[in-house]
Amino acid sequence: MAEVILEKVGKTYPNGFKAVLDANLKVDDKEFVVLLGPSGCGKTTTLRMIAGLEEITEGTIKIGGKVVNDVEPKDRDIAMVFQNYALYPHMTVYENMAFGLKLRKTPKPEIEQRVKEAARILGIEQLLDRKPKQLSGGQRQRVAVGRAIVRNPKVFLFDEPLSNLDAKLRVQMRAELKRLHQNLQATIIYVTHDQVEAMTMADKIVIMKDGIIQQIGDPYSVYFEP
Ligand code: ADP
Ligand code: ADP
């Protein structure tokens, strides 16, 4: 089970700025939840706290019943996909996807099997020997997703993964990510400022504004302020 629970979560940055206030949220196992809101409303901060990349200054976050801060970063059953892809430029696609598994001392044959399987799912098998700079934006995004998939985490965190892609590719990748969610049977928390993305992908939408969760509901019951 990989529920994600936020209890009275807040973030005060060292300069005193309160980016997130009293956030309460329950993400069910295998649910696809979208955090939606304008730039600067605290979505990324929230996601980074869930990922353990940002200190939680108020309240508690639990994943699968465990308080995140009690679990070593490398033992967290979680993988994050970043907007800028964050690929290592000097490594091949294969090495980028294998890197996290190598760090965790996964046996080589298993790494090879997992990387190839993820590459097959994402349709990037023919790109494994390339470097990131030899890839299109959409291909880079698939590699970034592949690097998350190989770890086989129960929770995926996506931070505006499609916002650097052109409109046509964005539509295609939305459908791909949605299908992927169905295949992986994983919990997904997905950050975007794009209403259409939220409407088409989410089981549940969480609307944030000025660091506060304003509404939580299914795509047909939340109300978007223009
Ligand atoms: P979003 O992802 O919704 O665009 P963020 O979570 O990135 O929003 O940022 C929320 C707010 O916190 C913004 O006003 C931003 O300027 C502020 N912020 C982000 N990082 C820091 C930081 N390290 N110190 C102070 N304020 C920050
Ligand atoms: P190292 O340099 O430590 O051997 P690499 O990550 O470069 O680590 O490669 C590890 C293994 O992964 C290689 O021995 C090979 O079996 C496999 N491998 C690397 N690149 C590819 C690829 N493009 N396709 C299939 N297998 C690969």
Q: According to the model, what pLDDT value does residue 6 have?
A: 98
pLDDT of 184 above 90: no
Closest CA to 58 of 43, 46, 40: 46
Q: Which residue, 212, 176, 217, 218, is CA-closest to 20?
A: 212
Q: State if residue 224 touches ligand 1 by the CB under 6 angstroms criterion.
A: no
Mean pLDDT of 36-47: 96
- Is the pLDDT score of 226 beyond 90? no
Residue 17 CB less than 6 A away from ligand 1: yes
Predicted complex ipTM: 0.75
126-166 pLDDT, tens digit per residue, is 999 999 999 998 999 999 999 999 998 999 999 999 988 88
What value does the mean pLDDT take over residues 27-36?
Answer: 97
- Report whether 198 contacts 33 (CB < 8 A): no
**pLDDT tens, residue by residue, 99-133:** 999 998 999 999 999 999 999 989 999 999 999 99
Q: What is the mean pLDDT of residues 19-42?
A: 97
Mutate to test the pocket of ligand 2, among 91, 94, 105 (most ligand atoms within 8 A of CB): 94
Q: Closest-lying ligand to the alpha carbon of 35? A: 1
Amino acid 217: pLDDT: 96
* Token pair of 155 as six digits: 């929770």
